[in-house]
Structure 1
Amino acid sequence: MVRLDETPPASAERPARRRRWPRWLAGLVALLMAGVLFIAYVWQPPAVQGYRSPYLSRVHSLYADTPVARFHYTKTGQGAPVVLIAGGAQWQYSYRDTIPALAKNHTVYAVDLPSQGYTRAAQNFTYTIPAMADAIRAFLDAVGLTKASLVGHSWGGAWTLSFAERHPDRVDKLVLLDSPGLDKELASQTAVFGVPVVGEAVVKLMRRADFETSLRSAFTHQERVTAEVVDENWAWMSRSEQRDAFVKLVRSQDYAPIDAGLGRITARTLIVWGQDDQWLPASYAREYGERIPGAEVKVIPSAGHNVHEDDPAQVIPLLAAFLSG
Structure 2
Amino acid sequence: MAAIVALLAAVTLFGAYGWQPAAVDGYRSPYEGSYLDTSLARFHYSKTGSGSPVVLVAGGAQWLYSYRDTIPALARDHTVYAVDLPGQGYTTVKGDFAYDIPAMARALGAFLDAAGLSTVSLVGHSWGGAWSLYYAEQNPDRVDRLALLDSPGLDKPLASQTALFSIPVVGELAVKLMGRADFEKSLRTAFAHQDRVTPEVVDVTWHWMSRPDRREAFVQLVRTQDYTATDAGLTRLRARTLVIWGQADQWLPASYAEEYGRRIPAATVHVVPGAGHNVHEDAPEQVNPLLAAFLKR
Q: Could you state the TM-score of these two structures normalised by the residue count of structure 1?
A: 0.90
Residue 43 (1) aligns with residue 15 (2): no
Code of the residue aligned with 1:45 in structure 2: it is: P
Could you tell me which runs of 5 or more consecutive residues in structure 1 were left unpaired when the two chains were aligned: 1-22
1:172 deviation in Å?
Answer: 1.2
The size of the alignment, in residue pairs, is: 297
1:253 deviation in Å?
Answer: 1.4
SS in 2 for 1:54: coil
Residue 179 (1) aligns with residue 151 (2): yes
Cα distance in 2 for residues equivalent to 1:66 and 1:133: 15
Residue 166 (1) aligns with residue 138 (2): yes
1:198 deviation in Å?
Answer: 0.9
Structure 2 equivalent of residue 113 of structure 1: 85
Can you list the C-alpha shifts for 1:188-231, whole angstroms capped at 9, x where unaligned?
00001111111111100100000000000000000000000000
Can you list the C-alpha shifts for 1:118-177, whole angstroms capped at 9, x where unaligned?
000122111011000000110000000000000000000000011001001000110000
Structure 2 equivalent of residue 13 of structure 1: none
1:184 deviation in Å?
Answer: 0.4
What pairs up with 1:1-325 in 2 under 5 angstroms?
23=1, 26-56=2-32, 61-325=33-297
Could you tell me which runs of 5 or more consecutive residues in structure 2 were left unpaired when the two chains were aligned: none
* Residues 62 and 159 of structure 1: CA distance in aligned 2, closer, same or farther (over 3 Å): same
Cα distance in 2 for residues equivalent to 1:34 and 1:278: 37
Code of the residue aligned with 1:167 in structure 2: it is: N
Moved over 3 A (4+): none
Cα distance in 2 for residues equivalent to 1:52 and 1:165: 37
Cα distance in 1 for residues equivalent to 2:95 and 2:189: 32
Cα distance in 2 for residues equivalent to 1:29 and 1:234: 35
Code of the residue aligned with 1:75 in structure 2: it is: K
Cα distance in 2 for residues equivalent to 1:274 and 1:79: 29
Q: Could you state the TM-score of these two structures normalised by the residue count of structure 2?
A: 0.99
Code of the residue aligned with 1:52 in structure 2: it is: R
Please provide the CA RMSD for this pair: 0.8
Code of the residue aligned with 1:267 in structure 2: it is: A
Q: Which has the larger radius of gyration?
A: 1
